[in-house]
Amino acid sequence: MKLVMIELAIDFQSEPVRVVVTGAAGQIAYSLLYMVAKGDVFGPNQPVILHLLDIPPMMGVVQGVVMELSDCALPLLRGVVPTADPDVAFKDVDAAFLVGAMPRKEGMERKDLLAANVGIFKVQGQAIERNAKRTIKVLVVGNPANTNALVCSKYAPSIPKENFTAMTRLDQNRATAHIAERLNVSCADVSNVIIWGNHSSTQFPDVRHANATVNGAKVSVSEAIKDDEYLKTQFVEKIQKRGAAVIAARKLSSAMSAAKAASDHMKDWWQGSANWVSMGVISDGSYGVPADVVFSFPVICSDKKWTIVQGLEIDEYARGKLDITAKELIEEREEALAVCQDSNL
Ligand SMILES: NC(=O)C1=CN([C@@H]2O[C@H](COP(=O)(O)OP(=O)(O)OC[C@H]3O[C@@H](n4cnc5c(N)ncnc54)[C@H](O)[C@@H]3O)[C@@H](O)[C@H]2O)C=CC1
Ligand SMILES: O=C(O)CCC(=O)C(=O)O
């Protein structure tokens, strides 16, 4: 099928940002592209040019997505570049959503995807190094997201490591929504829920510093819930296993909620965050987390930069949880780097 490049003839004052979405034929991209193209992420006045990357056999499907984007008649969408060539996809891009990867099936752990997916992020890191703006902001969604982000950054050595992040916002959103439901308040009334560590079943969803507005008064979540044992056990397990629960129910992995989380993550990074948000970022050793892993920390974003929230108390219980998830990330890193070295990609 012949691919067409669409440059829509709309005149805007601001320069468009170039945004690549990989896995453009897949289910997360199908929701995410619409959110980006209608201004949810980069702002209601910021034109965008979308680069859509997928593999050659999926180009027919991508062409259908291009048609639908056009049919949405979105004023901010200045152009669409569908391609199966990473060098075209990453050319001069300002922001990247790295979604394209194999999703897990029922019964698998996310790290089981490592051997299949890590090569994709090596190749894309190399393409970023050759083509992207040095200021590119990269959000890795494809699993295992933290380790894929680390691999990607290692193969783009001239881009600052701070520009590579992994998505744990879906876990944050799940935890926030769960607390809000339990307290019968809106999600907007719950703040500062933290996800520490890996986007995996070792992650530590932590509400020890979270607040909720209940009946007009701001209180700590633990005060409002009044069941610390529940918050330390069932709640943690529920969030850790939520992805698997969705797969069991839908026979497909989370997509609409994953796209919303990707949109939230990039929006906060680009436009600034009102509260703490959780992002997988390169560890600088904060909270005793080993360096050279992409670890989810609470961060604040401003001026298109994230900063790890410092000074939070880590008690013995939290220390144990942080150490478990850090250990898993070190194991994943060693395995991933071995796969990259063995592969001729
Ligand atoms: N971090 C997180 O919170 C979440 C991560 N995920 C992960 O996101 C990934 C994508 O999920 P879905 O969209 O549901 O999968 P999907 O299977 O619907 O789509 C994946 C797309 O990626 C494409 N693809 C494969 N190799 C590629 C390559 N080298 N370059 C570009 N595109 C490539 C496929 O052809 C396919 O179109 C999976 O790894 C999934 O586990 C999903 C939900 C949440
Ligand atoms: O759990 C999975 O592997 C599916 C996608 C995902 O990462 C999630 O839903 O959290």
Domains recognised in the chain with CATH numbers: 14-166 (3.40.50.720), 169-331 (3.90.110.10)
Q: Are 47 and 78 in contact (CB under 8 A)?
A: yes
Q: What is the pLDDT along the chain (345 residues), one digit of tens a residue?
A: 454 555 444 444 689 999 999 999 999 999 999 999 999 999 999 999 999 999 999 999 999 999 999 999 999 999 999 999 999 999 999 999 999 998 777 677 766 788 889 999 999 999 999 999 999 999 999 999 999 999 999 999 999 999 999 999 999 999 999 999 999 999 999 999 999 999 999 999 999 999 999 999 999 999 999 999 999 999 999 999 999 999 999 999 999 999 999 999 999 999 999 899 999 999 999 999 999 999 999 999 999 999 999 999 999 999 999 999 999 999 999 999 998 987 665
Is 169 annotated as belonging to a binding site? no
Distances (CA, A) of 249 to 228, 253, 279: 29, 9, 27
Residue 331, Cβ neighbours under 10 Å: how many? 13
CA of 266 to the centre of ligand 2 (A): 18
Q: Which residues contact 233 (CB under 8 A, 6 or more apart)?
A: none
Q: Which of 171, 149, 151 is nearest to 278 (CA)?
A: 171
* Model pTM score: 0.95
Mutate to test the pocket of ligand 2, among 98, 105, 167, 253 (most ligand atoms within 8 A of CB): 253
CA of 26 to the centre of ligand 1 (A): 6
Q: Which of 197, 47, 2 is nearest to 110 (CA)?
A: 197
Protein residue whose Cα sits closest to atom 8 of ligand 2 = 243
Q: Are 36 and 77 in contact (CB under 8 A)?
A: no
Mutate to test the pocket of ligand 2, among 200, 238, 254, 265 (most ligand atoms within 8 A of CB): 254
CA of 214 to the centre of ligand 2 (A): 31
Residue 249, Cβ neighbours under 10 Å: how many? 8
Residues facing residue 6 across a β-bridge:
80
Is 163 annotated as belonging to a binding site? no
CB of 336 sitting under 6 A from ligand 1: no
CA of 186 to the centre of ligand 1 (A): 30
Q: Which two tokens stand for residue 195?
A: 């996800």
Q: At CA 261, angle to CA 254 and CA 121, rounded to 5?
A: 80
Q: Is the ipTM of this complex over 0.95?
A: yes
- How many Å apart are CA 185 and CA 173, to the nearest integer? 14
Enzyme catalytic residues? 199
- How many Å apart are CA 176 and CA 203, to the nearest integer? 15
Nearest ligand 2 atom, CA 254: 9
CB of 143 sitting under 6 A from ligand 2: yes
User: pLDDT (tens digit, 9 = 90+) per residue, 56-91?
Assistant: 999 999 999 999 999 999 999 999 999 999 999 999
Nearest ligand 2 atom, CA 143: 7
Nearest ligand 1 atom, CA 168: 3
CB of 25 sitting under 6 A from ligand 1: yes
